[in-house]
């Protein structure tokens, strides 16, 4: 059975289409990385699947259960960790876990032993008796995820779990998610970080403007780009056009230019002395070269190819 099955869901807020015919599936026992820039519809998708909002159109199933028709049954099978640590700050870690266990209608003894297990599992045994107000950001997130796992959910939803964390906490969160994944926790992970999706997810869907624009494993997505890329940085942005002309003979596809970075992105065939030829052509065209880099395609390139913009374009505008 599929853990998640979304078929053509739509959701609009006024004139804004948050979801515009999004469809995806996710098998059990896997980690799905949902990748997209701010405002692509990641959180809206999570909210539909966790019964927080109702889609205008389309169907969404979790564990084969319809989220609109049977929200309580869905709620019994999921765990949600949103973008902020949703914990009661003046309760201790243990009290928070036991509190959520009660809301899942677990018998008190089971709730207590489950809380003990999870505190141990998430390295919070000592902190368990302290109020959350005294926790660090990373500890709060760990407690938050522990709370989401209290009732042994079929699907764990992690909505941008590393947003706002310092680099060290981010890394330990990665380790945690990786471990959960290897233990078979079915995880629906949203992120705006390409490296995060690549490191943690078994398969990736890329979404933009409320639609899935690509899906597959990280390798499959990279294959779509095909071949390697040459990244050339030149001294003068005015010469970008001239440089692109000079390099056209080497390219296997359209050359991208970024005037701010004074860079050219040239899709090429791997190997074959491309590098010296490129430098020679640029020299002939009298373009001063600052840097030349041969790059294996990254997910950033995938995103650029698919949407014509980098994943973080939106953020830079703000």
State the residues that interact with another protein by CB under 8 A.
28, 43, 47, 50-53, 63, 72-73, 75-78, 80, 82-91, 95, 99-100, 102-106, 117-118, 120-121, 123, 131, 147, 149, 151-154, 156, 179-180, 182-186
> Whole-number minimum distance, CB 89 to another protein, in Å?
8
> Given the complex with another protein, which of 35 and 132 has the nearer CB atom?
132
Closest CA relative to residue 65, chosen from 159, 156, 1: 1
> Whole-number minimum distance, CB 79 to another protein, in Å?
8
What sign does the dihedral 140-148-158-56 (CA atoms) show?
negative
C-beta separation of 312 from 37 below 8 A: yes
Size (the chain), residues = 318
Q: Are strands 2-13 and 16-27 parallel, antiparallel or unpaired?
A: antiparallel
> Given the complex with another protein, which of 55 and 267 has the nearer CB atom?
55
> Whole-number minimum distance, CB 69 to another protein, in Å?
14
Closest CA relative to residue 157, chosen from 281, 294, 33: 33
> Whole-number minimum distance, CB 296 to another protein, in Å?
34
> Given the complex with another protein, which of 48 and 304 has the nearer CB atom?
48
Joined together, the tokens standing for residue 168 give 């060290």
> Whole-number minimum distance, CB 165 to another protein, in Å?
15
DSSP track, 46-88: HHHHTTSS--SEEEEEETTEETTT-HHHHHHHEEEE-SS----
> Whole-number minimum distance, CB 159 to another protein, in Å?
9
> Given the complex with another protein, which of 90 and 280 has the nearer CB atom?
90
Q: CA 222: distance to chain centroid? A: 16
> Given the complex with another protein, which of 149 and 194 has the nearer CB atom?
149
> Given the complex with another protein, which of 93 and 297 has the nearer CB atom?
93
């Amino acid at each position: 059975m599929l853990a998640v099955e979304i078929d053509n869901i739509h959701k609009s807020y006024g004139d804004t289409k948050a979801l515009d015919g999004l469809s995806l599936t996710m098998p059990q026992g896997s980690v799905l990385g949902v990748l997209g820039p701010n405002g692509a519809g990641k959180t809206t998708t999570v909210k539909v699947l966790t019964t927080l909002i109702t889609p205008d159109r389309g169907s969404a199933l979790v564990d084969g259960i319809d989220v609109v028709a049977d929200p309580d049954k869905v709620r019994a099978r999921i765990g949600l960790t949103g973008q902020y640590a949703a914990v009661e700050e003046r309760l201790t870690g243990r009290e928070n876990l036991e509190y959520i266990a009660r809301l899942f209608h677990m018998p008190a003894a089971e709730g207590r032993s489950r809380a003990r297990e999870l505190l141990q599992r998430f390295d919070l045994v000592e902190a368990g008796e302290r109020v959350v107000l005294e926790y660090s950001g990373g500890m709060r997130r760990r407690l938050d995820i522990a709370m989401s796992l209290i009732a042994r959910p079929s699907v764990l939803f992690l909505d941008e779990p590393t947003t706002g964390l310092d680099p060290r906490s981010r890394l330990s969160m990665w380790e945690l998610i990786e471990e959960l994944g290897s233990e078979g926790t079915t995880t629906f992970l949203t992120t705006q970080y390409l490296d995060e999706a690549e490191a943690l997810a078994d398969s990736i869907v890329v979404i933009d403007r409320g639609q899935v624009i690509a899906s597959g494993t990280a390798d499959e997505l990279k294959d779509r780009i095909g071949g390697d890329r040459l990244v050339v940085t030149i001294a003068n942005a005015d010469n970008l056009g001239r440089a692109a002309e000079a390099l056209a003979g080497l390219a296997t596809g359209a050359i991208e230019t970024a005037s701010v970075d004074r860079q050219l992105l040239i899709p090429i065939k791997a190997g074959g002395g491309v590098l010296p030829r490129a430098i020679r052509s640029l020299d002939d065209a009298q373009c001063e070269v600052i840097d030349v880099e041969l790059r294996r395609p990254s997910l950033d390139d995938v995103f650029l190819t698919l949407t014509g913009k980098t994943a973080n374009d939106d953020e830079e505008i703000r």
